[in-house]
């Protein structure tokens, strides 16, 4: 009965959109063109990355490969830097730096004993400004996420209460002391749609000036909580449309990006491709964001629906350039990759050990080499900090240099840096997507433990999940208390094994066993639908059940993109991407290791032609 009601509501939703004069996408029942031949022509030539002379990736992966001789003087410098790092809290940076300069004849590497050494790797003022802006943004986010002392929290709670009182009266002005996220905190107190919310919406819409884009975003999302009610659909659409037009020439603003993304998706649901493409184009012009790949996908989707071949291929080209391995890139090509044949080719790429762009960066690279040579993984990890904290930093380096640095991350078991460096290489030059680099990007670990636990789901799906949850780091833990390879909350683990303790979850065999049992229970709950099970693993089953009632599910990728939690949106599609590549790289190996053919192949409906 509930499903029938939702279906009727969404049919009415589309009917309303047509009655308002929107030009809908083609309603043809014939199969839409795939343009597969034209897509296949875009395949890059992987042989280029292995042409010529130089150190090969296979060589660079070997332990203690270095490009320069380690002299006694160099050994003393390395030892000094190691000691300085160990005692950094107890000594003045300036004093240690001056001592290093004196002892080692102003060696450039002395700058790495300073606490702000990362700044020395940025020689462009704009980049430093961007980094400082990012720090300020993170500070603001920490404040808005509730990380305050008790007195500050008490004061701030009064601000939120005052804001809520104002909103209930339909007042749209910000209140003194309001910070980012307070609109969300206030609006989440409404459990039902009320006349107070109707008044607030009316005043926002009637305002002769543009209100804060954060208010448009959270008020629109609050209305979405009551989809598929047709009145709530009209309200969200109207709020997003006004925000889109209000900030038509807006610089980068995450709330304007959010409302454009929601408006574009609702337009796709309404089969209003003209509006969807216009909105997604404005979104793309705002610069790279969490929505970029999705905006390009839906532009391509609409172009194919309208049989606009040139527009489709232009969107595909940009989508492939931006994210060659991604879920949306796979989906637009009927669930496959034009790079898949590279897996069967024995290509050993040439790495580049030094950059031509910045001499200071070469001192950094050599220092990483030297710490690797003396088996100091901790110092290698510390030196790779810019890669983890400021991924944009990688764009300062040529792809071959990034690939070389990835080998040090691999040996020091810094999987986050490894994945980020390889991802940046692939996004810059997809020619590097070959068997040897993919196996680094998609490592397969704890195979025996996974095989022992996976009874109902494909073991490679579990590997895909572990890669996303913990990057195969046994002792991983999150700020909310999730621990281990499969990032289990202790309370959740106790639902599976009542007597398990938190410390037990740090053991790979325990974590994998309990994690698989819990996940397989979710797969059963959703009748084998792994995308819904993955969403529930991340966000909780009750939340996913609400989303199913709220949004249409027939077009699976549209449903996944409509998920209002960015973390869950990304989580499901990233694991789907992981599974595609894991299954292509390791299917035969897993068949051999398990001794049986994999009968439990995993279906990701979002990868099918919609």
Whole-number Å distance between alpha carbons of 255 and 268: 20
Relative orientation angle of helices 530-539 and 459-470, to the nearest 10 degrees: 30
Q: How confident is the model at residue 610 (pLDDT cuts 50, 70, 90)?
A: low
Residue 324 reports pLDDT greater than 70:
yes
Question: Would you give the end-to-end CA distance of the chain in angstroms?
Answer: 25
**Using one digit for the tens of pLDDT, what is the confidence trace for 14-25?**
444 433 333 345
Other beta carbons less than 10 A from residue 42's beta carbon:
14
**Using one digit for the tens of pLDDT, what is the confidence trace for 214-246?**
999 999 999 999 999 999 999 999 999 999 999
For residue 349, the 8-state DSSP code is P
- Stretch 361-377: mean pLDDT, rounded? 93
pLDDT at 139: 39
- Stretch 518-546: mean pLDDT, rounded? 97
pTM of the entire predicted model: 0.90
Q: How confident is the model at residue 93 (pLDDT cuts 50, 70, 90)?
A: confident
Average pLDDT score, the chain: 88
Residues 6+ apart with CB under 8 A from 265: 276, 298, 558, 561, 562
Is there a contact between 292 and 319 (Cβ–Cβ < 8 Å)?
A: no
**Using one digit for the tens of pLDDT, what is the confidence trace for 482-506?**
999 999 999 999 999 999 999 999 9
Q: How confident is the model at residue 147 (pLDDT cuts 50, 70, 90)?
A: low
Is there a contact between 181 and 163 (Cβ–Cβ < 8 Å)?
A: no
Nearest to 40 by CA among 434, 340, 385: 340
Exposure b/e, 244-272, CB count within 10 A at least 16 = b: bebbeebeeeebbbbbbbbbbbbbbbbbb
Is there a contact between 411 and 377 (Cβ–Cβ < 8 Å)?
A: yes
Relative orientation angle of helices 359-373 and 72-86, to the nearest 10 degrees: 90
pLDDT at 310: 96
Other beta carbons less than 10 A from residue 381's beta carbon:
18
Nearest to 35 by CA among 301, 429, 324: 301
**Using one digit for the tens of pLDDT, what is the confidence trace for 174-188?**
999 999 999 999 999
Residue 270 reports pLDDT greater than 70:
yes
- Stretch 437-461: mean pLDDT, rounded? 94
Residue 269 reports pLDDT greater than 50:
yes
pLDDT at 145: 47
Task: Give the distance between the most distant pair of CA atoms in the chain.
Answer: 81
Residue 132 reports pLDDT greater than 60:
no
pLDDT at 595: 62
For residue 114, the 8-state DSSP code is S
Other beta carbons less than 10 A from residue 474's beta carbon:
15
Which residue segments constitute the domains of the chain, with CATH numbers given?
80-115 (no CATH), 152-323 (1.25.40.10), 447-607 (1.10.530.10)
The set of catalytic residues is 469
Residue 576 reports pLDDT greater than 60:
yes
Nearest to 294 by CA among 280, 307, 314: 280
Whole-number Å distance between alpha carbons of 40 and 63: 39
Nearest to 562 by CA among 267, 190, 184, 243: 267
The H-assigned helical ranges of 179-306 are 182-187, 195-206, 213-224, 230-246, 254-269, 273-285, 292-305
Report the percentage of the chain scoring pLDDT > 70: 88
Write down how long the chain is: 610
């Amino acid at each position: 009965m509930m499903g029938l009601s939702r279906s009727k509501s969404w049919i009415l939703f589309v009917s309303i959109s047509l009655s308002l004069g929107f030009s809908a996408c083609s309603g043809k029942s014939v199969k839409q063109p795939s343009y597969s031949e034209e897509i296949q022509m875009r395949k890059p030539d992987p042989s280029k990355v292995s042409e010529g002379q130089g150190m090969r990736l296979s060589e660079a992966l070997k332990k203690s490969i270095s490009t320069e001789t380690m002299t006694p003087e160099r050994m003393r410098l390395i030892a000094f830097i190691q000691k300085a790092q160990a005692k950094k809290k107890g000594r003045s940076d300036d004093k240690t730096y001056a001592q290093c300069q004196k002892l080692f004849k102003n060696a450039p590497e002395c700058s790495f004993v300073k606490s702000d050494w990362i700044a020395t790797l940025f020689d462009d003022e704009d980049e430093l400004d961007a980094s400082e802006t990012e720090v300020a943004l993170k500070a603001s986010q920490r404040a808005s996420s509730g990380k305050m002392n008790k007195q500050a929290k008490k004061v701030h709670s009064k601000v939120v209460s005052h804001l809520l009182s104002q909103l209930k009266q339909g007042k749209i002005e910000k209140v003194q002391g309001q910070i980012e996220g307070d609109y969300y905190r206030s609006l989440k107190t409404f459990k039902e749609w009320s006349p107070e919310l109707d008044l607030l919406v009316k005043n926002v819409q009637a305002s002769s000036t543009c209100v804060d884009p954060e208010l448009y975003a959270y008020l629109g999302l609050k209305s979405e909580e009551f989809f598929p009610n047709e009145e709530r659909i009209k309200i969200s659409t109207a709020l997003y449309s006004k925000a889109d037009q209000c900030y038509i020439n807006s610089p980068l603003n995450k709330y304007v990006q959010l409302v454009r993304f929601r408006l574009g998706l609702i337009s796709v649901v309404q089969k209003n491709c003209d509006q969807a493409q216009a909105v997604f184009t404005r979104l793309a012009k705002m610069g790279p964001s969490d929505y970029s790949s999705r905006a390009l996908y839906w532009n391509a989707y609409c172009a194919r629906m309208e049989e606009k071949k040139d527009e489709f291929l232009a969107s595909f080209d940009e989508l492939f350039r931006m994210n060659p391995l991604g879920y949306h890139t796979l989906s637009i090509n009927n669930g496959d990759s034009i790079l898949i044949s590279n897996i069967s080719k024995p290509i050993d790429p040439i790495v580049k050990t030094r950059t031509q762009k910045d001499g200071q960066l070469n001192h950094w690279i050599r220092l990483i080499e030297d710490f690797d040579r003396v088996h100091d993984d901790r110092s290698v990890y510390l030196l790779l900090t810019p890669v983890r904290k400021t991924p944009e930093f990688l764009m300062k380096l040529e792809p071959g240099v990034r690939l070389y640095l990835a080998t040090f991350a691999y040996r020091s078991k810094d999987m986050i840096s490894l994945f980020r460096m390889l991802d940046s290489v692939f996004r810059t030059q997809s020619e590097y997507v070959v068997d040897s680099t993919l196996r680094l990007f998609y490592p397969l670990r704890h195979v025996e433990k996974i095989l022992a636990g996976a009874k109902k789901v494909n073991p490679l799906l579990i590997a895909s999940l572990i890669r996303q949850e913990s990057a195969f780091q046994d002792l991983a833990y999150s700020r909310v208390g999730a621990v281990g390879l499969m990032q289990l909350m202790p309370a959740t683990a106790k639902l599976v094994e009542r007597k398990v303790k938190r410390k037990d979850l740090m053991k790979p065999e325990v974590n994998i066993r309990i994690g698989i049992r819990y996940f397989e229970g979710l797969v059963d709950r959703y009748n084998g639908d792994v995308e819904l099970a993955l969403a529930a693993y991340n966000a909780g089953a009750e939340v996913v059940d609400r989303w199913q009632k709220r949004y249409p599910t027939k077009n699976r990728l549209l449903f996944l993109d409509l998920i209002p939690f960015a973390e869950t949106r990304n989580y499901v599609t990233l694991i789907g991407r992981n599974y595609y590549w894991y299954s292509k790289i390791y299917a035969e190996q897993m068949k051999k290791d398990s001794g049986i053919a994999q009968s439990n192949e995993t279906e990701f409906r979002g990868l099918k032609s919609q």
